[in-house]
Structure 1
Amino acid sequence: MLKTLATLIQGQNARAEDRVRDAFAIELIDQKIRESESSLRAAKATLASLIQRQRSEERQHAALKTRIADLTARAAEALDNNREDMALEAARAIASMENELAVRDETRDRLDQKITRLRSSIEAGHRRIIDLKQGAIQARAVRREQTIQMRLVKSGAVESSVEEAEELIARVLGRDDPFERSEIMADINRDLTGGSIADRMAEAGFGPATRATAEGVLARLKSSKS
């Protein structure tokens, strides 16, 4: 029973954590980018320190080689002048400096390896941060679109506007033509007053015309010319 409750609590906590991560995804992305940039700056500082130490080792290495060459020449000159005591003293110094030179050679090699690896890591980290920033830009654009869509869905602005526009179009298209309506009303009035019967009889040739027609106007024009 306790194990079941613990599992349920863990599952609920995991779901709550997922909801929080989804809600603050953009903020978390920005924070991770800042952390990555901070780590990259620290790595660059370390690289600069290693390069500085490498240069110092190279200067000391060159100085040691110069001193060894100088003492070697002096020792040879002492031997030429039968001063083996001084040549031996120079030989001891030369041996000590050669041992130090060997140690510095190993140090230089290790520094070279560290610098190469760290420089490669920094370049890779730099590229990843650029990719992260591009991804963050896309994520913010998607989040803005999602936010707008959610607001529209919650407010019903799009649906209500479309429905209102469709209703207005239907009202305009379904409205009666006032000119046609007036003609119908005139016909009804003529029927009520008997005017329509007289019109039909005049058109049939019984009695004078009750209204002007194209045929009557044409006949009048012809008679005026004759």
Structure 2
Amino acid sequence: MLTLLRTLARGAAAQACEEAHDRHALLVLDQQIRETAADLERGRRTLAAAMAGDAAEARRLAEVEARAADLEIRAVAALAGGREDLARDAAEAIASLEAERDALRAARATFAAEVARLRAVLADAARRQAALERGRRVAAAAEAVRRLRPAASVGERANLRQAEATLARLQRVQAEAAATDEALAAIETPEESIAERLEREGFGPRTRSSSDDVLARLRRRAEADGSASA
């Protein structure tokens, strides 16, 4: 019985852990992506530092080779001048420099292979990191939609119906207001009578003076005033 209870307790704990992980999967993924991004950045910095060190070793190798070449020239000149003692000392120094040169060359060859391997590893890690970040954006969007689904199944439809009813009421009120405005405009602006329409078209005598009539009257008055003054 105790064994069964312990098994059930472990099963419940494991299930609770899985459910918690599922509920907070995005948070867990975000943290993991941050950690992998930090690891990738550290790897890049380490590789950059190693490459800078290799560049320094390359400069040191060039210096060693230059010193060995210079000593060899001087040793040959010493032998030609009969100074074998100086030439022997130079030969010992050249041998030491050549040993250092060979060690540097071997170290740089090994390092070059390691750098190539590290570059490949970092390039693969960078591609996988970019894929993780793209996948995270898609997962975040999907999770946001998933969280809306329970409320959208019933509540969203009700909200849509309410919004549609509100829009219909608003359109109805606006239509009624527009009709009222048109009726008021019609009341305030009297319709033109048939007699006025005929007069405006030039049929029958005029009941109102036009601007041309007024101007003609003013001219006649001006002419009459001029004749009287004369």
TM-score interval for Structure 1 and Structure 2 normalised by the shorter chain = 0.5 to 0.7
Deviations 1:90-139 (A, max 9, x none): 00000111111111112111221221111111111111111011111110
Map residues 14-163 of structure 1 onto 2, 5 A cutoff.
Answer: 14-153=14-153, 156-158=154-156
Q: Could you tell me how far 1:28 is from its partner in structure 2?
A: 1.0
- Looking at structure 1, the residues matched to 32 and 48 of structure 2 have their Cα atoms a distance apart, in angstroms, of 24
In structure 1, stretches of 5+ residues that fail to align are: 165-226
Aligned to 1:11: 11
* TM-score normalized by the length of structure 1: 0.66
Change (3 A) 1:16 1:95: same
- Looking at structure 1, the residues matched to 5 and 110 of structure 2 have their Cα atoms a distance apart, in angstroms, of 55
SS of 2:94's partner is helix
Deviations 1:34-59 (A, max 9, x none): 11110011001101111101101110
- Looking at structure 2, the residues matched to 133 and 39 of structure 1 have their Cα atoms a distance apart, in angstroms, of 15
State the one-letter code of the partner of 1:141: A
SS of 1:82's partner is coil
- Looking at structure 2, the residues matched to 26 and 14 of structure 1 have their Cα atoms a distance apart, in angstroms, of 19
Deviations 1:50-90 (A, max 9, x none): 11011011101011111111101111111111111000000
Identity %: 32
Q: Could you tell me how far 1:161 is from its partner in structure 2?
A: 6.4
Cα RMSD (Å)? 2.1
Aligned to 2:166: none
- Looking at structure 1, the residues matched to 161 and 39 of structure 2 have their Cα atoms a distance apart, in angstroms, of 55
- Looking at structure 2, the residues matched to 85 and 129 of structure 1 have their Cα atoms a distance apart, in angstroms, of 64
When the two structures are aligned, how many residues end up with a matched partner?
Answer: 163
Q: Could you tell me how far 1:10 is from its partner in structure 2?
A: 2.8
- Looking at structure 2, the residues matched to 3 and 83 of structure 1 have their Cα atoms a distance apart, in angstroms, of 95
Map residues 146-225 of structure 1 onto 2, 5 A cutoff.
Answer: 146-153=146-153, 156-158=154-156
Change (3 A) 1:2 1:88: farther
Q: Could you tell me how far 1:163 is from its partner in structure 2?
A: 9.4
Q: Could you tell me how far 1:12 is from its partner in structure 2?
A: 2.0
Deviations 1:128-185 (A, max 9, x none): 11101111111011111111102234xx314656999xxxxxxxxxxxxxxxxxxxxx
Change (3 A) 1:147 1:66: same
In structure 2, stretches of 5+ residues that fail to align are: 163-230
SS of 2:82's partner is coil
Aligned to 1:179: none
- Looking at structure 2, the residues matched to 2 and 56 of structure 1 have their Cα atoms a distance apart, in angstroms, of 68
Change (3 A) 1:2 1:95: farther
